[in-house]
């Protein structure tokens, strides 16, 4: 399998070469003057002069208006205030405004009202939760490994780091450096190390039989490619196998970048055999304060119990002395075991049998699958308190036994052991009640207690203890036997099948003190020793304590407390660390790590800005190079991404690619202006977003200007943005409208409702999806568990990626499955009922007022007369129908899973509002911004 | 698609929108629901639909489709050094011995049909269909672990992020059915290790991803209305949403709203059409006997019958995954059972399609992510021959095609006498995918999607159509 498809890879190189000729011909060489625009450092363009000079609110508008005027177009009017407020709330926080927010804004006609709204939203902790989503798509953040089994991992600390960094408006250069190489910063803080989780988000294959080195190399490929896409808007992947044919990156450029990222430890470890485990550097997170308090309380309790244990043990020591005397006396008495004479033997298996002089029975001849031996014995003893069966080896048995059937595994399974006693007067035999089964050895899962549990499917077996004698003892509930002629019938069931029966056995009765029975031979020996060594004394003391109820209880308590202390383990985060010894990096011929070519050292592509002498040639140096203001790509790529997030379309539409084959920017000078402004503001994301949302361009109405519009895609920005929200926003928005949304932040991922049966991957340690029944059910989408093989279904249906690889932008589809989701997914059914109850609880409102209230909760604006009338008609019509079928109304309200509706609430009322809420939550306007 | 939207924007009025259900504008908008109308085949298609049977875990092709008497003869002997030394094997760690098929009757191979194609007695029903089958015996994969190899087979790439064959087909041809997705996936057993990526859309618009139809719970996610919402209520809700969306469309003029209205109509229709489709109880007793189906059960047989029903309704690409073929141990005791589960239904599917006249239009593919070694993998060192299994094998394995455009009764390629590597006509996963696209009327070199500055293809820069398998 190492003979790789060399020919195929070679063909790839040739074919790319052919394809490339056209592209290179188009692009005008790579000379410094004619360098592709994106590889030249942006400079601040002057703000253009425009005719409608009153319109621009800031330079963004001047650039936009210039283009519009050049195309003979004019901008749209400002959007209505309620719609505008909803737009900016959704854009900056991902959540809709409350009715109070809307009213306050409608009342505020001061000049700075809009600025104030923007500033307030930028300062909200909801900001980071919303904007982190876009970054986490790029960072291919997920809570699982990917591949077979797709086990969960602890990576959420990184997600929280991103949210916090965005909320704090961490300068983007620092944001970049900490994620690529936070661990290598001098005196790296905990947060800086957590930030390096960015590159631990790669998928990891722990499928049985994986090659850890292949997995590692694939992970580094992913890191190189993701780094280039995220910060350079460049597709490096092409250069993995051969020189990039469109963009000026050679294969050795690729592996020089690869060398920077090639020095972290392997992340798959070989467990037993061909089992492999997820592995690699982890960081312990500090405990939360509640956990710290809990831990302190446990330590106090532990100290108390240990003190109590100490004093109790002094008493126990005294008891031990008395016990030793008693046991010694018992041991001195004559042997209480009596081997029983066999009067008759029968078996269902039709074997031969011989009774040997030592009173044991040897079985031979036919080997049946199963057998029941019935043995009649004479037991002229009084005071029988236990029986014993010895299973013995014999040269005639396969592999010497003690079982029959297989000379490699001479096992037996004693399914049931029963004894019947006859008192000699010809009366019915009575079954002897047995308990406290003990054996010198039991196979795992086949404990001797199974031999008296009344069930034939489990039994006593000795796998792992072949070729040796064994015994089992069983105590009787009552003392049995009389001196003259007690007859005992033993039934020995062996029903496992495949000839797993006993080859030789001997039965005995016991007439001693049961206390002695339980005494292990080794302890008996120690007791009888004249002089005991320290080791023997320890052993004896340990034995006594382990069988002393009070001592055992205390020991258990201590162990339990220690376990609880142990259980409060700090959570962990996946981080990057650098190996002491850097790996040698070679160009991989045709991208195959088994075919190393020339050795390369770490370095950056010469087409781009220079790598400074004083930067270290490691990940930290790479990070500083990427985050350098000289980098022509980073600010453009990043600002473009934010622009796209807000306007639905980037200034460069190929968001993931700024190379020679990228689309030309629609507003090249605006892009450069934004990029320069971004860097000069101290890399402030919030500064750039504030500029965007306070621009007149942003505040335009989204209404299309007549049917003749020539700019369908809104490339020229003659109207405001309007498009469907992302998957997470749609859910957050619905929960918020419903008044159900929990604003709890951070921590482990949550499990909101999803249909059963979606998590069934192949492989070890498959995690279970346990739907949350507390507030976690209603937390924001950013906290929902992201399992790569099966991400949250409604997210997938609304174009969420599986996050297995870097995902620069999501598609925006419009499908029937989305309609079904909004109508029937538990999450949305619960939201509809939540909204219904919110309306029902408004006391003293007319139906019309309630309709208006619900409408404003969903859409911020007030309904038009037609809309209001329509909903009123629907309300009355549905109410009438439901009133006529109260049972259906109750069923509708009471079968919603996540919400219990109080008894005093009228079911017909709630059900009618549920239908109105369903309509509102399904509107295109509700899921669009 | 932009063209279409622009037209809609120009001509739509609310009245048109509201009248447009299922006709007129509705139909125009529907054209880009599940795929684009403007793309189409590059040449005359031989098949309109595909039913792709992916045996997850990789069946032992050597015991089913590639008879090796020499391997039986040398059973128990150490394998040649070149099979082991310097090779990457998933599980085998010590120099293994050769493992032939048992010589007992159930494992014997038989020459069947007019073509005399040799396949195992483990597949007695399929033996009757060989004259419809083109057997490719030398397919090779680049990946030797399940997850990556499943992705490689389905997306032409061993890592995440690329569109699957079904998604490419939907993207290239659109959907002939307006009421159902272009690409439907069904799974028996656990999901493939590659997860949803095995039927995902990668960087293509997610509208092209395979929609899973399930035999437990809702057949399509979120298909059933909540308790207490009857059909009439749902209809009135959808009407009301349509009414209000129409008003908003009048206001803002975004054609996406018109599309949304149609999606709700389609969703409403799917609530009736999908359960009807999934309900096989209406099929005749004769059909149930043919497939071995039992209504209400989850089984591969039921999925085969459903595949036929989907194709009848014009679903472009139906993909069945069946888990449980990863026989590292006890291959000879496990394989017969798995074969019994799939043999009758697969043969029934071919027979049924044929008699309904659908086989000419439908390509049936039977494949797995790789094959299994001619060397024994001994289970946990116990060393009992009866427990031997086979490890993952990528050098050469068997895949077959049947139906539209396929030359039945053909065998392409031959492996060496021990079944290790191709001896004649080596083929590759990319060749298989190029052939499947070809049969659908698509040129694998021209079916591209521009992403990250590159025109991506299912077959990367490889792939040759396997002409010998074509009718």
Helix (H) or strand (E) holding A666: none
Paired tokens of A443: 């196979």
| CB-based contact, B321 to chain A, within 8 Å | no
- Give the strand pairing for B454-456 and B317-323: unpaired
Domain identity same for A328 and A300 = yes
CATH architecture of the domain formed by B47-160+298-440 = 3-Layer(aba) Sandwich (3.40)
Paired tokens of B217: 């719970």
User: Burial level of A524, CB count in 10 A (0-12/13-18/19+)?
Assistant: middle
Three-class DSSP category at B109: strand
pLDDT range class, residue A590, cuts 50, 70, 90: confident
| Chain A residues within 8 A of B214 when measuring between CB atoms | 757
Domain identity same for A361 and A443 = yes
Three-class DSSP category at A334: coil
Q: Cα separation of B443 and A679, whole Å? A: 47
Asked if the structure places residue A682 within a domain, the reply is: no
Which candidate in A819, A836, A854 is best for mutational testing of the B interface (most B CBs within 10 A)? A819
Task: Give the per-residue pLDDT at A353.
Answer: 93
Is the dihedral angle over the CA atoms A529, A533, A534, A536 positive or is it negative?
negative
Cα dist. A541→A317, A318, B187, B364 in Å? 8, 11, 60, 74
User: Burial level of A375, CB count in 10 A (0-12/13-18/19+)?
Assistant: buried
Cβ contact, residue pair B193, A148, below 8 Å: yes
Which candidate in A212, A790, A820, A901 is best for mutational testing of the B interface (most B CBs within 10 A)? A820
The CA-based dihedral angle spanning residues B332, B333, B334, B336, taken in that order and rounded to the nearest 10 degrees: 80
- Which among A19, A222, A818 has CB closest to B263? A818
Residue spans per domain, chain B: 47-160+298-440
Cβ contact, residue pair B228, A813, below 8 Å: no
Task: Give the per-residue pLDDT at B1.
Answer: 31
Task: Give the per-residue pLDDT at A425.
Answer: 62
Domain identity same for A491 and A372 = yes
Task: Give the per-residue pLDDT at B455.
Answer: 86
Higher-confidence residue of A541 and A688: namely A688
Task: Give the per-residue pLDDT at A765.
Answer: 67
Task: Give the per-residue pLDDT at A764.
Answer: 62
Domain identity same for A430 and A292 = no
Domain identity same for A425 and A466 = yes
* Highest mean pLDDT pick, A196-200, A291-295, A462-466, B182-186: A196-200
Min Cα distance A759 → chain B (Å) is 8
pLDDT range class, residue A21, cuts 50, 70, 90: very low
CA angle B158, B164, B168 (to 5 degrees): 135
**Average pLDDT over every residue of A537-562:** 90
Residues A541-552 have pLDDT tens digits of 988 988 888 889
Q: Which of A489, A511, A533 is the last residue of a domain?
A: A511
Task: Give the per-residue pLDDT at A459.
Answer: 94
**Average pLDDT over every residue of B302-328:** 94
Supply the range of the domain harboring residue A354. 335-511
Asked if the structure places residue A427 within a domain, the reply is: yes
Domain identity same for A426 and A520 = no
pLDDT range class, residue A148, cuts 50, 70, 90: confident
Domain identity same for A483 and A550 = no
Asked if the structure places residue A650 within a domain, the reply is: no
Min Cα distance B462 → chain A (Å) is 6
Helix A634-647 vs helix A685-693: crossing angle, to nearest 10: 40
Residues A816-837 have pLDDT tens digits of 999 999 999 999 999 999 999 9
Residues A630-664 have pLDDT tens digits of 999 999 999 999 999 999 999 999 898 899 888 89
| CB-based contact, A919 to chain B, within 8 Å | yes
Asked if the structure places residue A466 within a domain, the reply is: yes
Return contacts of A68-76, CB within 8 angstroms, 24+ apart.
A68/A716, A68/A717, A68/A718, A71/A716, A73/A711, A73/A716, A73/A718, A74/A718, A75/A696, A75/A697, A75/A700, A75/A717, A75/A718, A75/A719, A76/A700, A76/A701, A76/A702, A76/A703, A76/A705, A76/A718, A76/A719, A76/A720
Asked if the structure places residue A421 within a domain, the reply is: yes
pTM above 0.80, yes or no: no
Residues A482-501 have pLDDT tens digits of 767 778 999 999 999 888 99
Task: Give the per-residue pLDDT at A709.
Answer: 57
Q: Cα separation of A326 and A333, whole Å? A: 11
Q: Cα separation of A648 and B18, whole Å? A: 27
Task: Give the per-residue pLDDT at A33.
Answer: 53
**Average pLDDT over every residue of A314-341:** 87
Q: Is the pLDDT of residue A398 over 80?
A: yes
Q: Is the pLDDT of residue B465 over 60?
A: yes
CA–centroid distance for A450 within its chain: 39
DSSP string, B410-449: EEE-EE-TTSSSEEES---HHHHHHHHHHHTT--TTT--E
Does residue A574 contact residue A197 with C-beta atoms inside 8 Å?
A: yes
User: Burial level of A572, CB count in 10 A (0-12/13-18/19+)?
Assistant: middle
Residues 11-50 of B with CB under 8 A from A: 11, 33-34
Does residue A692 contact residue A698 with C-beta atoms inside 8 Å?
A: yes
Strand-pairing partners, residue B403, are B363
Helix A907-921 vs helix A826-840: crossing angle, to nearest 10: 120
Number of neighbouring beta carbons within 10 Å of residue A537: 12
pLDDT range class, residue A290, cuts 50, 70, 90: confident
Domain identity same for A488 and A375 = yes
Work out how many CB contacts closer than 8 A connect A with B.
Answer: 285
Asked if the structure places residue A275 within a domain, the reply is: no
Return mean pLDDT, chain A: 90
Q: Is the pLDDT of residue A690 over 90?
A: yes
Q: Is the pLDDT of residue B381 over 70?
A: no
Name which of A787-801, B394-408, B426-440 the model is least confident about. A787-801
Which runs of consecutive H residues, i.e. helices, occur in B356-410?
none
| CB-based contact, B190 to chain A, within 8 Å | yes
pLDDT range class, residue A6, cuts 50, 70, 90: very low
Return the DSSP state at A437.
Answer: E
| Chain B residues within 8 A of A790 when measuring between CB atoms | 191, 195-196
- CA-based diameter of chain B, in Å? 80
| Chain B residues within 8 A of A4 when measuring between CB atoms | 142
| Chain A residues within 8 A of B260 when measuring between CB atoms | 814, 819, 924
Min Cα distance A1 → chain B (Å) is 5
Domain identity same for A301 and A411 = no
Task: Give the per-residue pLDDT at A328.
Answer: 87
Name which of A185-189, A483-487, B8-12, B444-448 the model is least confident about. B8-12
Q: Is the pLDDT of residue A26 over 50?
A: no
Q: Pick the closest to residue A722 from A99, A90, A132 (CA basis).
A: A90
DSSP string, A185-237: STT--HHHHHHGGGGGGS-----TT--HHHHHHHHHHHHHHHHHHHHH----G
pLDDT range class, residue A427, cuts 50, 70, 90: low
Q: Is the pLDDT of residue B2 over 50?
A: no
Domain identity same for A344 and A310 = no
Domain identity same for A434 and A557 = no
Asked if the structure places residue A849 within a domain, the reply is: yes
Min Cα distance B236 → chain A (Å) is 9
Q: Is the pLDDT of residue B3 over 60?
A: no
| CB-based contact, A719 to chain B, within 8 Å | no
Cβ contact, residue pair A703, B253, below 8 Å: yes
| CB-based contact, A20 to chain B, within 8 Å | no
Residues 85-104 of B with CB under 8 A from A: 86-91, 93
Number of neighbouring beta carbons within 10 Å of residue B312: 15
Paired tokens of B181: 């997705």
Residues A742-796 have pLDDT tens digits of 999 999 999 999 998 888 766 666 788 999 999 999 999 999 999 998 899 999 8
| Chain B residues within 8 A of A888 when measuring between CB atoms | 228, 230
Higher-confidence residue of B180 and A739: namely A739
Min Cα distance B206 → chain A (Å) is 6
Min Cα distance A749 → chain B (Å) is 20
Q: Which of A511, A528, A551 is the last residue of a domain?
A: A511
Asked if the structure places residue A192 within a domain, the reply is: no
Q: Pick the closest to residue B62 from B105, B98, B95 (CA basis).
A: B98
Domain identity same for A523 and A504 = no
**Average pLDDT over every residue of B444-459:** 88
């Amino acid at each position: 399998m190492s003979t790789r498809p060399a020919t195929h890879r070679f063909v790839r190189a040739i074919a790319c070469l052919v394809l490339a000729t056209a592209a290179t011909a188009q692009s005008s060489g790579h000379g410094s003057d004619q360098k592709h625009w994106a590889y030249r450092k942006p400079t601040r363009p002057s703000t253009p002069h425009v005719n409608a000079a009153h319109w621009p609110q800031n330079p963004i508008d001047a650039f936009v208006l210039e283009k519009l005027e050049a195309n003979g177009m004019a901008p749209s009017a400002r959007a209505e205030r309620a719609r505008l407020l909803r737009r900016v709330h959704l854009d900056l926080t991902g959540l809709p405004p409350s009715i109070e927010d809307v009213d306050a804004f409608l009342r505020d006609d001061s000049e700075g009202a809009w600025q104030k709204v923007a500033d307030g939203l930028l300062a909200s902790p909801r900001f980071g939760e919303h904007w982190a989503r876009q970054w986490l798509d790029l960072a291919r953040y997920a809570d699982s490994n990917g591949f077979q089994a797709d086990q969960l991992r602890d990576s959420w600390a990184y997600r929280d780091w991103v949210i916090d960094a965005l909320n704090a408006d961490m300068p983007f250069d620092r944001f970049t450096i900490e994620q690529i190489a936070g661990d290598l910063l001098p005196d790296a803080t905990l947060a800086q190390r957590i930030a390096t989780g960015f590159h631990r988000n790669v998928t990891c294959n722990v499928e049985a039989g994986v090659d850890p080195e292949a997995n590692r190399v694939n992970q580094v490929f992913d890191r190189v490619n993701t780094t280039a896409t995220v910060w350079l808007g460049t597709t490096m992947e092409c250069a993995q196998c051969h020189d990039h044919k469109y963009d000026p990156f050679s294969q050795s450029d690729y592996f020089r970048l690869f060398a920077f990222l090639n020095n972290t430890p392997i992340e798959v470890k070989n467990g037993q055999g061909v089992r492999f485990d997820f592995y690699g550097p982890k960081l312990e997170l500090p405990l939360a304060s509640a956990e710290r308090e809990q831990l302190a309380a446990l330590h106090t309790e532990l100290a108390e119990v240990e003190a109590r244990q100490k004093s109790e043990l002094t008493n126990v020591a005294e008891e031990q002395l008395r016990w030793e005397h008693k046991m010694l006396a018992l041991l001195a008495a004559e042997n209480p075991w009596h081997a029983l004479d066999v009067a008759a033997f029968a078996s269902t298996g039709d074997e031969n049998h011989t009774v040997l002089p030592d009173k044991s029975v040897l079985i031979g001849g036919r080997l049946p699958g199963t057998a029941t031996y019935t043995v009649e014995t004479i037991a002229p003893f009084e005071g029988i308190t236990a029986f014993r069966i010895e299973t013995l080896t014999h040269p005639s048995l396969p592999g010497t036994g003690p079982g029959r059937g297989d000379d490699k595994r001479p096992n037996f399974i004693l399914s049931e052991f029963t004894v019947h006693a006859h008192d000699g007067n010809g009366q019915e035999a009575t079954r002897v009640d047995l308990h406290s089964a003990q054996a010198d050895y039991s196979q795992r899962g086949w404990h001797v207690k199974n031999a008296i549990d009344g069930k034939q499917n489990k039994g006593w077996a000795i796998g792992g203890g072949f070729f040796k004698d064994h015994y089992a003892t069983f105590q009787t509930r009552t003392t049995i036997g009389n001196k003259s002629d007690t007859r005992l019938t033993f039934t020995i069931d062996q029903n496992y099948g495949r000839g797993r029966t006993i080859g030789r056995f001997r039965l005995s009765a016991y007439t001693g003190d049961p206390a002695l029975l339980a005494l292990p031979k080794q302890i008996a020996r120690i007791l009888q020793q004249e002089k005991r060594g320290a080791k023997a004394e320890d052993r004896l003391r340990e034995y006594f304590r382990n069988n002393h109820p009070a001592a055992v209880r205390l020991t258990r308590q201590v162990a339990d407390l220690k376990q609880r202390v142990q259980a409060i383990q700090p959570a962990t985060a996946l981080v990057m660390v650098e190996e002491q010894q850097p790996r040698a990096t070679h160009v991989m011929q045709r991208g195959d790590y088994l075919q190393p070519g020339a050795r390369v050292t770490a370095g950056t592509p010469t087409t781009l800005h220079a790598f400074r002498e004083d930067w270290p040639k490691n990940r930290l140096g790479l990070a500083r190079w990427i985050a350098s203001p000289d980098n022509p790509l980073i600010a453009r790529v990043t600002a473009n991404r934010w622009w796209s997030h807000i306007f639905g379309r980037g200034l460069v539409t190929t968001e993931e690619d700024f190379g020679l084959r990228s689309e030309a920017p629609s507003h090249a000078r605006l892009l450069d202006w934004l990029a320069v402004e971004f860097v000069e503001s101290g890399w402030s994301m919030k500064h750039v977003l504030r500029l965007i949302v306070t621009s007149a361009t942003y505040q335009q109405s989204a209404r299309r200007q007549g049917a003749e519009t020539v700019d369908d895609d809104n490339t020229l920005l003659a109207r405001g943005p309007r498009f469907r929200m992302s998957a997470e926003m749609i859910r957050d928005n619905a929960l918020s409208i419903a008044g159900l949304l929990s604003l709890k932040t951070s921590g482990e991922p949550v499990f909101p409702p999803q249909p059963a049966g979606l998590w069934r991957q192949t492989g070890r340690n498959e995690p279970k999806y346990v739907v949350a029944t507390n507030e976690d059910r209603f937390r924001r989408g950013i906290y929902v568990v992201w399992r790569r093989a099966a991400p949250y279904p409604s997210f997938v249906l609304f174009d969420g990626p599986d996050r297995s690889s870097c995902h620069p932008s999501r598609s925006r589809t419009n499908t029937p499955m989305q309609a079904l989701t909004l109508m029937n997914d538990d999450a949305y059914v619960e939201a509809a009922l939540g909204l219904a109850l919110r309306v029902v609880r408004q006391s003293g409102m007319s139906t019309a007022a309630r309709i208006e209230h619900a409408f404003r909760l969903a859409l911020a604006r007030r309904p038009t007369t037609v809309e209001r009338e329509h909903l009123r008609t629907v309300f009355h019509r549905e109410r009438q129908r439901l009133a006529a079928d109260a049972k259906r109304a109750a069923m509708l309200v009471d079968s919603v899973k996540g919400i219990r509706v109080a008894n005093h609430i009228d079911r017909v009322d709630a059900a009618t509002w549920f239908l109105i809420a369903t309509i509102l939550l399904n509107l295109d306007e509700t899921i669009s911004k | 698609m932009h063209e279409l939207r622009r037209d809609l924007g120009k001509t739509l009025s609310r009245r048109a929108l509201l009248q447009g259900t299922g006709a007129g504008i509705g139909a125009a908008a529907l054209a880009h629901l599940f795929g684009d109308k403007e793309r189409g085949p590059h040449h005359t298609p031989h098949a309109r639909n595909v039913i792709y049977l992916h045996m997850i875990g990789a069946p032992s092709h050597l015991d089913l489709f590639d008879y090796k008497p020499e391997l039986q003869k040398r059973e128990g002997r150490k394998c040649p050094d070149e099979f082991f030394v310097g090779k990457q094997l998933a599980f085998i760690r010590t120099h293994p011995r050769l493992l032939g098929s048992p010589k007992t009757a159930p494992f014997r191979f038989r020459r069947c049909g007019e073509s005399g194609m040799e396949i195992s007695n483990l597949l007695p029903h399929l033996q009757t269909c060989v004259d419809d089958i083109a057997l490719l015996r030398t397919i090779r994969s680049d990946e030797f672990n399940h997850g990556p190899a499943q992705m490689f087979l389905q997306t032409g790439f061993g890592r995440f992020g690329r569109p699957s064959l079904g998604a490419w087909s939907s993207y290239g041809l659109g959907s002939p059915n307006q009421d159902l997705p272009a690409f439907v996936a069904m799974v028996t057993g656990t999901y493939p290790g590659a997860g949803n990526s095995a039927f995902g859309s990668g960087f293509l618009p997610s509208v092209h991803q395979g929609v899973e139809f399930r035999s437990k719970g809702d057949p399509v996610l979120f298909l059933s209305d909540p308790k207490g919402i009857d059909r009439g209520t749902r209809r009135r809700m959808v009407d009301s949403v349509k009414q209000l969306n129409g008003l908003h469309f009048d206001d803002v003029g975004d054609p996406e709203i018109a599309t949304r209205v149609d999606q709700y109509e389609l969703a409403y229709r799917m609530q009736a059409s999908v359960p009807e489709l999934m309900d096989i109880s209406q099929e005749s007793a004769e059909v149930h006997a043919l497939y071995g189906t039992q209504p209400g059960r989850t089984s591969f047989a039921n999925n085969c019958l459903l595949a036929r029903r989907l194709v009848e309704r014009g679903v472009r690409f139906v993909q069945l995954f069946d888990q449980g073929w990863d026989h590292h141990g006890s291959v000879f005791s496990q394989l017969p059972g798995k074969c019994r589960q799939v043999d009758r239904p697969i043969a029934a599917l071919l027979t049924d399609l044929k008699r309904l006249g659908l086989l000419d239009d439908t390509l049936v593919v039977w494949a797995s992510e790789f094959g299994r070694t001619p060397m024994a993998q001994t289970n946990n060192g116990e060393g009992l021959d009866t427990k031997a299994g086979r490890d993952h094998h990528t050098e050469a394995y068997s895949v077959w095609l049947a139906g539209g455009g396929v030359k039945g009764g053909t065998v392409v390629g031959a492996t060496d006498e021990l079944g290790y590597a191709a001896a004649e006509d080596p083929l590759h996963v990319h060749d298989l995918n190029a052939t499947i696209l070809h049969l659908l009327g698509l040129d694998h070199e021209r079916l591209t999607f521009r992403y990250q500055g590159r025109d991506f293809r299912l077959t990367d820069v490889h792939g040759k159509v396997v002409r010998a398998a074509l009718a």
